[in-house]
Amino acid sequence: MVSFRREAHVPKGGPDGGDGGDGGDVVVVCDPSRRDLSEFHRGGHYKAARGGHGEGGQRHGATAQPRELLVPPGTVAEADDGARWELTEPGQRAVVARGGGGGRGNKAFANPTRQTPRIAERGLAGEERWLELRLRLLADAGLVGLPNAGKSSLLGRLTAARPKVGDYPFTTLAPVLGTIEADERQLVLADIPGLIEGAHEGAGLGHEFLAHVERCRVLVHVLDLAPLDGSDPVANHATVEAELREHGHGLADLPRIVCLSKIDLVAPETAADALAEWGARLGLDRGAPDPAEEPQPPAPGETVALVATSAATGAGLDELRAAIVRAAPELEPAAAPREVVAEHRVYRPGADDAFAIERTDSGGYRVTGVRVERLLARHDMTNEDAQRYVEERLRRMGVIAGLEAAGFEPGDDVEISGTVFELDPG
Ligand SMILES: Nc1nc2c(ncn2[C@@H]2O[C@H](COP(=O)(O)OP(=O)(O)OP(=O)(O)O)[C@@H](O)[C@H]2O)c(=O)[nH]1
Ligand SMILES: [Mg+2]
C-alpha cells in the first residue's frame, strides 16, 4: 500500500502504507480419519488464498490461511521436481508449495532522504508444482506366498475382512486389509496378491503390491503343503523368498512366520512330519524359549515362528494369531505432530545473489539471476520512485558496475525477467 497520513492538524503526514500479507501455503496433512485418496482421483488444482492487501494507517494485510489437503497415513507425495514427502504419523504436515511473500508498504521505504516514498513492493508469486500422491498401506503384518496358497482364507479367519477366496491362482487382485483384535490393541494384517517367480521384474501381479508390505513389521509366509499343481513346497518356499530379496527395500530383512496351510488336506502324521522337517530346515527348535533368558530381537530375515494351520477346520489359527501379535509388538504412541521436510533438497530462491550479464540482439543488456529477477518482480518500473529504488538496489548488488564493465552507458536499455527499461543511474 502507498498511503500518506492525513489529519486535520498535521500538515505533512508521513507515509503509512502497510505491508501486504503473505500468501497461504499448500500443506499436505496426515489425517488418520482418511482411508484413501479417492477425493484426489479427478486431479485438479489446489490453491491457497492470497495474502490480504496492506492498508493505510500502517495496517498490514493478513497472512492467508494454509490450504490443507488431508491424506491418510502412508501417503507419499512426490513432486515433478524430485521433492518427496512421506506422511506416516497422524498430524504430520508437509508444506508442498509455499505462499509468496507479501510486499512491503511505502512506510517501509521511508528514510531520511526519502521522506515521501510513492513506492510499495508487489507481493511475490507463490510456489507451484505438480504432485503425485500415492498411498502405501500401513499394515503391521503381511501375508505373502504363491498364488492359491491360502492367504485370503487365513485373512478371512483371523479378521473380520471377507476377501474373495477362489480355487484358482490370482483370486486376489488388490491388497485387502483386516484387523486382528489383540488384548487392547489392533493389528492390521494385509493380504496381497500371490507372488510368482519373476514378480520383482513385473511377472504376475504381486510385485506391484510388494511395496505395500515394506512397512510391515513381520511377514507371514503362507506355504501350501499339498499344492494342487503338485509343485514342491521346498522349491515354492525358495521362490517366494527369492522374490522378497530381489524386491529389495529391506523386505527380506523382516522377521518371518512360516505358516504351513491347509493341513486338513494331509493326514495328521504327514502334518506332524512336515512340522518337524520344516522346523529343522528353518533352524527352529519348537521348544518354548527359556523364560530366564532375555528375549533377543530377531536377526534380519529370521523365521521367528512356524505354525501349521487350516482355514477349513480352524486348527492352528490361535497359534498363528498369537505369533503375529508377538512378532509385531506395540509401537510407541505417535510423537507430537511435526513437519515433515522433503527428503530431497528443494531448490528455493533466496541465497543466490549471483547474476549474469549478456548483450541482447537490439544492443541492450540482459541481466539474469535469482535476486535481480526477484527485485524486478517486486516493483513496477513505470513508477518513478520504484525505478529509483531499483537502481539503488542494483548499484548495491554490483549490477551497475558489472554493466559498466560490459560496456553499458547511461541511457542504454536493460532487460530483466522480460521487462525492458532505460537505465539512467544518476
Ligand atoms: N481344505 C482347505 N482348503 C483351503 C484352505 N485354505 C484355503 N483353501 C482353498 O484354497 C484355495 C485358495 O485359497 P485362497 O485363500 O483364495 O488363496 P490365496 O493365497 O489368497 O490365492 P491368490 O489370491 O490367488 O493368491 C481356495 O479354493 C480355498 O478354499 C484350508 O485350510 N483347507
Ligand atoms: Mg487371495
- The three-state secondary structure class of 19 is coil
What pLDDT, in 10s, does the model give residues 208-227? 678 778 888 999 999 999 89
* pTM exceeds 0.75, yes or no: no
Where do we find the cell 512378532? 327
For the chain, give the number of residues. 426
In this structure, the answer to whether residues 124 and 172 fall within a common structural domain is no
Ordered per-residue pLDDT tens for the chain, 426 residues: 999 888 777 667 789 999 999 999 999 999 888 877 888 887 789 999 999 999 999 999 999 999 999 998 889 999 988 888 989 888 899 999 999 999 999 999 998 888 888 999 999 999 999 999 988 777 899 999 999 999 999 999 999 888 889 888 888 887 888 989 887 788 889 998 888 777 777 666 666 678 778 888 999 999 999 898 899 999 999 999 999 999 888 899 999 999 999 999 999 999 999 999 999 999 886 456 677 777 778 889 999 999 999 999 999 999 999 999 999 877 655 544 456 665 544 444 445 778 999 999 988 999 999 899 999 999 988 888 898 899 999 999 999 999 999 999 999 999 998 889 998 877
Which phi and psi (to 5°) does residue 109 adopt?
A: -100, 0
In this structure, the answer to whether residues 300 and 391 fall within a common structural domain is no
> What separation in Å is there between the alpha carbon of 214 and the centre of ligand 2?
19
CA angle 309-275-323, nearest 5°?
A: 50
In this structure, the answer to whether residues 32 and 149 fall within a common structural domain is no
CATH number at residue 262: 3.40.50.300
In this structure, the answer to whether residues 314 and 261 fall within a common structural domain is yes
> What separation in Å is there between the alpha carbon of 151 and the centre of ligand 1?
7
CATH number at residue 118: 2.70.210.12
Which residue range forms the structural domain that includes residue 360? 356-422
In this structure, the answer to whether residues 20 and 132 fall within a common structural domain is yes
Residue nearest to ligand 1 atom 6, measured at CA: 150
What pLDDT, in 10s, does the model give residues 261-310? 999 999 999 999 999 999 999 988 645 667 777 777 888 999 999 999 99
Which grid cell sits at 367?
A: 541481466
β-pairing, 218-224 vs 176-182, is unpaired
Closest-approaching ligand to the CA atom of 170 = 1
The single-letter code of the amino acid at 45 is: H
In this structure, the answer to whether residues 307 and 225 fall within a common structural domain is yes
Q: From the alpha carbon of 147, which atom of ligand 1 is closest?
A: 25
In this structure, the answer to whether residues 5 and 128 fall within a common structural domain is yes
In this structure, the answer to whether residues 153 and 226 fall within a common structural domain is yes
In this structure, the answer to whether residues 227 and 163 fall within a common structural domain is yes
Q: How far is CA 409 from CA 356, 390, 406, 422, in A?
A: 17, 17, 9, 10
In this structure, the answer to whether residues 131 and 146 fall within a common structural domain is no
What pLDDT, in 10s, does the model give residues 110-158? 988 888 889 999 999 999 999 999 887 778 999 999 999 999 999 999 9
CB-based contacts of 135, cutoff 8 Å, min separation 6:
36, 37, 71, 72, 74, 75, 76
Q: How many domains does the chain have?
A: 3
Mutate to test the pocket of ligand 1, among 153, 207, 260 (most ligand atoms within 8 A of CB): 153
Residue nearest to ligand 1 atom 2, measured at CA: 262
How far apart, in Å, do the first and last CA atoms of the chain sit? 27
In this structure, the answer to whether residues 277 and 389 fall within a common structural domain is no
